[in-house]
Each structure stands twice: as C-alpha cells, then as structure tokens.
Structure 1
Amino acid sequence: MKTSNKPIRLDRYLASVTDYSRSDAKKLIKSGDVRVDGSSVRDPGQLIPAEAGVTLMGSLLRPLGPRYLMLNKPQDVVCAARDRRHSTVLDLLDEDNPEHLHAAGRLDIDTTGLVLLSDDGNWSHAITSPQRKCWKTYYVETADPIPEHTVTQFAQGVFLKDDKARTLPAQLTILDERIARLKICEGRYHQVKRMFGAEGNAVVRLHREAIGEIHLDAELLEGEYRALSAEEIASVYHTETK
C-alpha cells in the first residue's frame, strides 16, 4: 500500500477531511478553533506532518491518508457519485467529503453484496485491472438448470454479444441445479449476466461475496459499511491467481 507522507497545508487538510470549503477552513484556523498535537495553530498555511493529531473544536479529525471501506450494497442502489432517480452507495456513507470516494469495481443496481470504496486510485486500479488477476466471487441463482458443460465453457472463455474477444477464463462451481458460485478476474459491462445469457440462461439473483482475499463481513447488514483492516488493504497487492 502506498500512502503519501508529505506534509500538507493545514487549511488544505481541513478542507479535505471535512465538508468545509478552503476559505471556511482558513477562517476556522484563524479563529483558534483548530489545534495540532494539542497546540493552537492560527496560520492556515502551516505545514503539518502526516502523523499529526488535528482537532476541530475539540473533536479529533481523521488522519491524513486515503480511505478504504467495504459496503454491503442493497438492491436498488447504484454505484455512482450521483443519480437523479436512485440512491447511490455514497448516500449510505456517514463520511466527510464522500464525493472524494469511488467504487473499486461497480455492481449493477439489482446486484447485492460487497462494494469496496476508496479515494486511492492506484489501489482501485489493482482491483479492477484484468492483468492483476484480482478474482471477484459471486453467488448466482439462475432461471434454468445449469448444465455441467457450462463449467468447461466458462473456463475456456465465452464470446459476449458485441465483444470481440472471449472472456478471460472463469471458475464456475455448481452448488445446486440453479445455484452456482462464479469467480471472474475482469469486469465487463453486466458480465456475469451476459455470460449466462450466452449459454441461454438468465440470472435471477446475483450477490458478490468477495474481491480477492477481501470477503464481505457477515456482520454487516445491507446498507452498512466499515473500514478495511490493514491486512485487507494490503491483500489487494499480492492477490494471486487461484
């Protein structure tokens, strides 16, 4: 995991971790409402180190550095910054400046389960890039029985409508007549649904259980989220093909 240890201007830091604008942050600092490591600081341009403890009106602000969250996404919620008709994953967060966060691998509106959110672009790229082989695991229910030959077909890759190349090899495990677990390492548009559609079947329920070694926390109810552990964050960079 790469994080920046460079000092940052106090007003910029305050604006980045709260909903205050840069100009309002400067006013708060000049008024004496901000303390750094216990000392009052009134200079908005003062550089503070990454490990500094900053309080605003007595409340400790979150530390410098990127955020990494896991969310249990419900149905009818979209993985977008804003949407005129539906709630978004950002609407479910009680975070300062949620607009700085993005989903590292989106889910369709009717798909439930694990969504990872961060403001670290390099980390997100390690998840979404097919070259990194970060496997995404889905629980799938289908309208019709799943033939055994689908396992071989998915392992070889399938041609999706309007796509020029086969899907990358996927791992399908049939759990019951109409229930399976599917692992893919890419994220094409509606990929899981289109893969089963290419085999003449339809997905009626889709739930993401894991991304790489990060599994959806069983204690998270739909719509709830938590911060990732240091081990979960670091696991993205050493995920191997399994």
Structure 2
Amino acid sequence: MRLVKLLANLGYGSRKEMQMAIRNGWVTDRDGNRLKADAKTAHEDIRFDDEPLDPDQGVVILMNKPLGYTCSTKDQGRLVYDLLPDRFRMRKPPLSTIGRLDKETSGALLFTDDGTFLHKVISPKSEVPKVYEVTLDRPLKGDEAALFASGEMMLESEDKPLKPAELEVLGDTSARLTLHEGRYHQVRRMFAATGNHVTELSRSRIGLLSVDGLEAGSWKILSEEDKALIFGV
C-alpha cells in the first residue's frame, strides 16, 4: 500500500494532507530519514512526527469505560470515541465497539476494525464469558444463584430462556455475575425479574481479559497474547 494511502487509512489526515506531510518531512523512518510517497518501509519502522504509527487494520483496543459515556454514535452527549485520539475516528475501516455498555455501566469495552474478530467475540458459539460487578438497591433473597444457573429463566417479552449464569454473592447487596451471552440490558433485567434493582454496574472481565490496572477512561492496544485471553487461551 502506498504510504499516502496507509497514513490516510490510519486517520492521520486526508490523502492531500498526507502528501503535504511527506513533502514537509514529517514522515520518516526510525533513523529519522525522510520518506517519499513511494517508500516501501515496514510499518513498524515508519514514524509520523517522530512517533510510531498506530497499528494497521486488525487493531483491538480495551477501554475501561467510565460512567456517563455512550457507545452509539447516534446518541447525544459524551461518546466513548471521545476518549480515543481524534484520528481513530477517521480510520478506514472504522473502529466499532464489540458489543455495548449503556451510559450508566462502566468497565471493560472492546473496539476493533476487524469484522471477523468482532463476530467471533459476539458469536453465541464462542460463549465468551463476561463478568459484572453488581450493586443492588435491596438485599439478595438467597435464591437468585439457583434461578440464574437453572437455564430456565425467562425475561419479560422474550420466548427463549437465558443460558445458565453464575452468581457469586459478595455481600447483602453486592454480587459478581458471569454471563455467557449478551442480551439487551441483561444484568439489569435479570435482577429486576427477582424484584430487585441494580444501582451500580461494572463489567470487570471479558473472558480472561481484565481491566485491572487500567484507570477509568484509559485504554490500551491489545497484543496477540491479550486477544487470546478473551477466548480463555
């Protein structure tokens, strides 16, 4: 791929702007040598304004989503994309979230521009476990774990029972819930069906990939080893 197209696809600017950047000497190799538009330099050896390039297509990002941000670009207000560099919005193919967290839910959120990887994560066949930390309005009754694990629980307006889910009681009004599917507002609806109300909700893990050590609003690009953790490898 020509250097101009590569830089434009990574969101650094339009092709015209990237042609100008190359002419101005802002694009170099790792040794500081100016590159030409037809340069065949390895991706990892290219520097833009003295910084390594963002990863090429196939990037996967983990964010510790803070409260108050939404995942849909159609929503008004603060978006999770606002927490990423502006150029990430201009990438081709575009970045998409892998699933969503609502405005009042925080925690682990994945982004990718790789459609195959996205579908692998969300596919029901993958059954990637997702772990949620839950705070409730009222004390647990004691029968929730058995109900959630039964594989027979039905949510209102649905005709298919939920897959078995594991509930770990942490306190009178706190619990850890592991799901193996992702239905609309599933955690909140499950507890609502038991007569309770979720007051705080955070997703702490996707597979074996955790947000531990990642501050709210921060993100990181995942290595191949990190990506394997999503599938428990």
TM-score interval for Structure 1 and Structure 2 normalised by the shorter chain: 0.7 to 0.9
Which of 53, 62, 77 does residue 61 from structure 1 map onto?
A: 53
In the alignment, what sits opposite 2:171?
Answer: 176
In the alignment, what sits opposite 1:89?
Answer: 80
Which of 1, 26, 42 does residue 19 from structure 2 map onto?
A: 26
For residue 158 of structure 2, what is the amino acid of its counterpart?
A: D
In the alignment, what sits opposite 2:180?
Answer: 185
Per-residue Cα deviation, 1:172-203 (whole angstroms, up to 9, x for no partner):
11122221110001111111011111122211
1:131 aligns with 2:122: no
1:159 is displaced (CA, Å) by 1.0
Distance in 1, matches of 2:50 and 2:220, equals 24
Distance in 1, matches of 2:40 and 2:163, equals 46
1:71 is displaced (CA, Å) by 1.5
1:202 aligns with 2:178: no
* Structure 2 residue runs without a partner (length 5+): none
Larger deviation: 134-143 or 222-231? 222-231
Distance in 1, matches of 2:26 and 2:199, equals 54
* Contact 2:69/2:79 (8 A) holds in 1: yes
Residues 137 and 63 from structure 1, CA distance in 2 versus in 1: closer, same or farther, beyond 3 angstroms? closer
Normalization by structure 2: what TM-score? 0.86
3-state SS of the aligned residue for 1:78?
A: coil
Which of 59, 70, 74 does residue 78 from structure 1 map onto?
A: 70
Residues 33 and 76 from structure 1, CA distance in 2 versus in 1: closer, same or farther, beyond 3 angstroms? closer
1:58 is displaced (CA, Å) by 4.0
Per-residue Cα deviation, 1:87-133 (whole angstroms, up to 9, x for no partner):
11110113532353222121111011111222222222222222101
* Contact 1:70/1:228 (8 A) holds in 2: yes
In the alignment, what sits opposite 2:6?
Answer: 13
3-state SS of the aligned residue for 1:200?
A: coil
1:166 is displaced (CA, Å) by 0.8
* Contact 1:133/1:239 (8 A) holds in 2: no
* Contact 2:148/2:166 (8 A) holds in 1: yes
For residue 134 of structure 1, what is the amino acid of its counterpart?
A: V
Distance in 2, matches of 1:143 and 1:115, equals 25
3-state SS of the aligned residue for 2:87?
A: coil
Residues 130 and 63 from structure 1, CA distance in 2 versus in 1: closer, same or farther, beyond 3 angstroms? closer
1:230 aligns with 2:224: yes
Residues 199 and 14 from structure 1, CA distance in 2 versus in 1: closer, same or farther, beyond 3 angstroms? same
In the alignment, what sits opposite 1:3?
Answer: none
Larger deviation: 173-182 or 141-150? 141-150
Per-residue Cα deviation, 1:46-75 (whole angstroms, up to 9, x for no partner):
374654522235443234343222222121
Distance in 1, matches of 2:177 and 2:55, equals 38
3-state SS of the aligned residue for 2:144?
A: helix
For residue 204 of structure 1, what is the amino acid of its counterpart?
A: T
Larger deviation: 48-57 or 117-126? 48-57
Distance in 2, matches of 1:187 and 1:233, equals 19
1:211 is displaced (CA, Å) by 0.4
In the alignment, what sits opposite 2:106?
Answer: 112
1:134 is displaced (CA, Å) by 0.3
Distance in 2, matches of 1:52 and 1:111, equals 36
Distance in 2, matches of 1:146 and 1:211, equals 25
Distance in 1, matches of 2:205 and 2:84, equals 20
* Contact 1:36/1:52 (8 A) holds in 2: no
1:239 is displaced (CA, Å) by 2.8
Distance in 2, matches of 1:231 and 1:124, equals 17
